Amino acid sequence: MTHLESNFTEIYPYQRLGSYFQFTTVQNIVVKINLSQDPRFFPDNPEIEEACNFFIETDKHSMGQDIRLRNTVLDILANFLKEHDPIIIYYCDPLDGRGHLRYAKFNRWFGLINDPSIEKHDREFTIIDLKTDENDNLIRSEYAMYASLLLRKTHLDYDAVIRLFYSGDADKTGKL
pLDDT tens profile 84-141:
888 999 888 777 788 888 888 888 988 888 888 899 999 888 878 788 889 998 888 8
Residue 172 lies in a domain: no
Average pLDDT score over residue span 150-164: 89
Query: What integer pLDDT is reported at residue 169 of this predicted model?
Result: 53
Question: How many structural domains are present in the chain?
Answer: 1
Residue 96 lies in a domain: yes
Residue 175 lies in a domain: no
The separation between CA 2 and the C-alpha centre of its own chain, rounded to angstroms, equals: 22
pTM of this prediction exceeds 0.85: no
**CA–CA distance, 144 with 126 (Å, rounded to integer):** 5
Residue 58 lies in a domain: yes
Query: What integer pLDDT is reported at residue 149 of this predicted model?
Result: 92
Domain limits for position 53: 15-167
- Collapsing DSSP to helix, strand or coil, 129 comes out as strand
Residue 50 lies in a domain: yes
Residue 111 lies in a domain: yes
Residue 62 lies in a domain: yes
Residue 156 amino acid letter: L
pLDDT in tens, 47-59: 777 789 898 999 9
Residue 135 lies in a domain: yes
Q: What is the DSSP letter of 102?
A: H
**CA–CA distance, 155 with 117 (Å, rounded to integer):** 10
Query: Among residues 89, 36, 27, which one has the least CA distance to residue 59?
Result: 27
